[in-house]
Chains A and B, each alone.
Chain A
Amino acid sequence: MSTGVTDKTQKTIGGIRRKFAPWNDPGAVPLIRYKNVTKRFGEFTAVDNLSLDIYEREFFALLGPSGCGKTTLMRMLAGFEEPTEGQITLAGQDLVGMPPYRRQTNMMFQSYALFPHMSVWDNIAFGLKQDGMEKAAVAARVEEMLKLVKLETFARRKPHQLSGGQRQRVALARSLAKRPKVLLLDEPLGALDKKLREATQFELMDIQMELGMTFLIVTHDQEEAMTVADRIAVMDHGRLVQVAPPAEVYEQPNCRYVADFVGDVNIIDAKIESVAPGAVRLRSDAADMSLMIAQDVEAKPGDQAWIAIRPEKVRVDLDPPVEQGVNCLSGTIWDIGYLGDLSIYHVELPNGARIKAAKPNLTRVVERPISWDDKVWVSWTPDAGVVLTR
C-alpha cells in the first residue's frame, strides 16, 4: 500500500484536498454522458434506455450479475459497439460513428487480448509507438509500467509464457501506458491473489488521482468496488438500479435488489403501520410487536414494504435486551457459521423466517456462550435498518 487514500469523499485536485462530489453539483459538466442509450443484439436488449453521467477524475464502478450488460456499456464507450438508440458524448463530443482508434479512451479487455506474437515489452509499447512517441520516451514509459505491475523481469517473454495473473497485469499495463483521459477496466484484477489485488487497487487509485484520469471499472468483487470507487452503479438486465457512493449503496439501498446484491442482508417482509417524519412503524409476521425504523419513507399505512438489515447490525443475546420494546424478536439458533473474524448466527423466528446476525469474535472462541437450539433474542436499533418499498 502506498499513500493511503483514506477518505474517498476527498480528492487532491490542484494540490489541495477537497471534497469530491461533482454529481451533487448542478453546475458540474459531466465528462461522459450516456443519454437514453439502448443496445439490442437482434431481439435481445443488452442495455435498456440507460442514462448515466460520469465526471472528470471520477473512479466509477459497475456492479451487476453476469450478463447484465456491463461489458456492452463499456464497449459502446470504446467504440466497438454502436448504440442502437441514444447518444454517448465524451467531453461534449458526440461519439456515435467515431471509430475506436480515434477515441481518447483505452480499454483493458476482460479476455486481456494480448498480442500473442509480441513480447510483454512490445505489447505495452504498442499504443505508444502508434502515437509516434519518441523511442527513448517509449522505453521510459514501458519500464515505468513494468515496474508498476511488477513484471520487470518478464519484459522479453511472450504472453503464452506467463501465468494468468501475469497476463492480466500486462493487459493492465498496456491499457495504462497511454495515460488516456478515460480508462475502461473490465474486471482488471480478477485473476490476482488477494494481496496483489489489494496492492494493485491502491496503485490504481494513486495513478488515477495523480494523472487526473477518469476510470470506469467493472468488477465482481464488491469489496473492490467499495475500496476504489467514488460512485458505484448497480446494474440489472441492462438498466441502472442505483447509482451512488459506496456507503450510500451499502447503507441506503433503494430496493431489495441492490440490498441483496451488495453485501449480505436480511430482508423482512412487512406492512406499513404508520408513517411519521423520520419514523416508520411496520408490522410483520415475524414479530409480535411493531417494528420501528428511523427513516423518511413515501408510503401509506397498509402498503407492502420490506425491512433490510445487515447482519453486522443485528444483535443476538441470550437474555432480553435492556431497551426492550423496539425491534426485538425471539427465536432459536438454527445454525452457527464460523468465518474466523466473525461468527454468523442464523436465528429461526417463530414464523419460520431466518435472520442472520454477525458477531465479531473478540476473543479466541473456544466455547461460545450461545449454542445450537438456544432460545435467543435478536434486536436492532431503529437507525440500523432501512425500509424498502420495492
Chain B
Amino acid sequence: MARGTKGRWLVLAVPYLWLFALFLVPFFIVFKISLSQDAIAQPPYEPTFDLSAGWDAIREAVGQLNFDNYSYVLSWDNEFLQAYGSSLWIAGISTLLLLIVGYPIAYGMARAPKSIRPTLLMMVILPFWTSFLIRVYAWIGILSPEGLLNQFLMFVGLTDEPLEILATDTAVYIGIVYSYLPFMILPLYAALEKMDETLLEAAADLGCPPFAAFWKITWPLSLPGVFAGCLLCFIPAVGEFVIPDLLGGSDTMMIGKSLWTEFSVNRSWTVSSAVAVLLLLVLVVPIVFYQNVQAREMEGR
C-alpha cells in the first residue's frame, strides 16, 4: 500500500518536474529581467543576483527591481499597444480563415474511405519535413511581383500588371494560413473522425435534410475540435514574427516583430522581456478558456 502510493507520487511528480524546469524557471528568469534596468554590461541589465555576495546583497538587488519597463511598454506613444492590438487582430482573422479552409479538408478526410485516411493524414503532415523558414521563403518566390503567382495571373490574362501582394498584410495572412493549417486540421479531424455516422442517419430518419443535420449534429459535436484548432493556431499566431518579418510590409505591426526589434536592434533585454511577459498575460485568457472547454469535454465522456 505504502509502496503503491509512493510509486504514484513519483509518476505524478515527473510531468510537474518537467513543467517546473522547462516552463516555470525560464518564465521567472524572463520576469526578473523585465523588472531590471538596461545597463551597458554583460548581460546587458542590472541588477544581477550574485549568490556568493550574501543575503544583504540579494536584498539590495531585489530592492532595485521595478515596473518601469511595463509602464514604458504600456504607454500609448511607444506603439507597443498598437502592435498588441494589431497582432490579436491579424491572429484572429487568420484563425477564422484557417477554420474556413481547414474544416472542409478535415471533414473530407474524416468521411473518406477508411483505407485512404492514413495517406491523407500523412499528406497533411508532409510539409513539416521541410524547414518552416524555407517554406516561408518559398512564398516570397511565389508572391513577389515577378513571382510565380503574378506570372501565372498575367499569363492567363487576369491582370495586366503584377499585383502587390508581397510586403502587405495579405501576404501575412497567406503565410499564417499556410503554415498553421495542419494545426487546425488535425484536431478538427480527430473530432470529426470519432463522430458516429449513424447519428446523421438518425437525424435524416427524423426528417432532417443533410445541410440542417450538419448544423444541428456535426457542427456542435465538432466544437471541441474547433476550439482546440483555433487556440492551437491563434496562440502562436499572436506571437508570430518570422512570417510578418519576411512576408509583411514595414507597416505590418505584430508584437513578435516588435519584440524581436527591441531585442536585436535596440538591444534592450529588459523591455523585450516585459513585452514577452505581457504577451503571455494576454494569451493566458484563451488558454484558460481552452482548459475549461477541455475539462467540460472530459466530463462529457
Find A111's partner among B198, B204, B207 (CB 8 Å cutoff).
B198
Give the interface centre of A80, A100, A106, A174 by most chain B CB atoms within 10 Å: A100
Q: Are B206 and A130 in contact (CB under 8 A)?
A: yes
Q: How far is the CB of B296 from chain A (nearest CB, A)?
A: 11
Interface residue A109 (Cβ < 8 Å from any Cβ of B): yes
A158 interface residue, CB < 8 Å from B? yes
Q: Is the CB of B204 within 8 A of A101?
A: yes
Contact B217 A115 (CB under 8 A): yes
Contact B206 A127 (CB under 8 A): yes
A116: chain B residues at CB < 8 Å are 199, 221, 300
CB of A53 to closest CB in B, whole Å: 23
Q: Is the CB of A106 within 8 A of B206?
A: yes
Nearest CB in chain A: distance from B216 CB, A: 8
**What is the interface residue range for chain B against chain A?**
20 to 34
Contact string, B167-204, partner A, CB cutoff 8 A, digits 1/0? 00000000000000000000000000000101101111
Contact code string A106-145 (vs B, CB < 8 Å = 1, else 0): 1101010111110000000011001100000000000000
Contact, CB under 8 Å: B207 / A115: no
In the bound complex, residues from chain B placing their C-beta under 8 Å from that of A114 are 202
Chain A residues positioned under 8 Å from B206 (CB to CB):
101, 106, 126-127, 130, 174, 178
Bound complex: CA of A114 vs CA of B202, how far in Å? 8
Q: What mask results when residues 142 to 168 of chain B are scored 1 for a CB within 8 Å of chain A, else 0? A: 000000000000000000000000000
Complex Cα distance, B220 from A158, in Å, reads 14
Bound complex: CA A111 to CA B198 (Å): 8
Q: Tell me the interface secondary structure of chain B in the complex.
A: helix
Residue of A nearest to B217 (CB): A115
Question: Given the complex of chains A and B, what is the CA–CA distance between A79 and B209 in angstroms?
Answer: 13
Interface string of A74-103 (1 = CB under 8 A from B): 000011100000000000000000011110
Please determine whether A101 and B208 come into contact, CB atoms closer than 8 angstroms.
yes
A102 to B203 alpha-carbon distance, docked (Å): 12
Is B204 within 8 A of A100, CB to CB? Answer: yes
Tell me if A109 and B300 are in contact (CB < 8 A).
no
Q: Is the CB of A113 within 8 A of B207?
A: no
Least Cβ–Cβ distance between B89 and chain A, in angstroms: 32
Is the C-beta of A160 less than 8 angstroms from some C-beta in chain B? yes
A127 near B207: Cβ-Cβ < 8 Å: yes
Q: Assess the A106–B220 pair: CB atoms within 8 A.
A: no
Q: Which interface residue of A78, A114, A115, A160 has the most chain B CB atoms within 10 A? A: A115
**Shortest Cβ distance from residue B295 to the other chain A in the assembled complex, whole angstroms:** 15
B217 touches A80 (CB 8 A): no
Cβ–Cβ < 8 Å partners of B50 in chain A: none
Which of B201, B207, B221, B301 has a CB less than 8 Å from the CB of A109? B201
Q: Are the C-beta atoms of B207 and A101 separated by less than 8 Å? A: yes
Interface membership of B205, Cβ < 8 A: yes
- CB proximity of B213 to chain A, nearest CB, Å: 8
Closest-by-CB residue of A relative to B223 is: A117
Tell whether, in the assembled complex, residue B300 and residue A106 are in contact, meaning their CB atoms are under 8 Å apart.
no
Answer whether A160 and B301 are a contact pair too, CB < 8 Å, given A101-B208, A127-B206: yes
Chain B residues near A160 (CB-CB < 8 A):
300-301
Q: Which residue of A lies closest to B219 (CB)?
A: A117
For residue A169, give the distance in angstroms from its CB to the closest CB of chain B.
16
> CA A160 – CA B220 in complex, angstroms?
16
User: Which residues from chain B contact A174 at a C-beta distance below 8 Å?
Assistant: 202, 206
Q: Across the interface, which residues of A come within 8 angstroms of B201, CB to CB?
A: 78, 80, 100, 109, 113
Taking a contact as CB atoms under 8 Å apart, the answer to whether B204 and A99 are in contact is yes
Contacts of A113 in B (CB 8 A): 196, 198-199, 201-202
Contact between chains at B198 and A178 (CB < 8 Å): no
Closest B residue, CB atoms, query A110: B198
Report B84-141 residues with CB < 8 Å from chain A CB.
Answer: none
- Docked pose: A317 CA to B41 CA in angstroms: 113
A80-B205, A126-B208, A158-B300 known; 4 other A-B pairs, CB under 8 Å? A101-B206, A101-B208, A107-B202, A131-B207
Task: Please list 19 pairs of residues, one from A and one from B, whose beta carbons are closer than 8 Å in the complex, sorted by A's number.
Answer: A78-B205, A101-B204, A101-B210, A107-B202, A111-B196, A113-B201, A113-B202, A115-B199, A116-B221, A117-B221, A126-B203, A126-B208, A127-B206, A127-B207, A130-B206, A130-B212, A160-B300, A174-B206, A178-B206
List the 8 closest pairs (A to B, CB-CB), nearest first: A127-B206, A113-B202, A130-B207, A100-B204, A113-B198, A101-B204, A117-B220, A107-B205
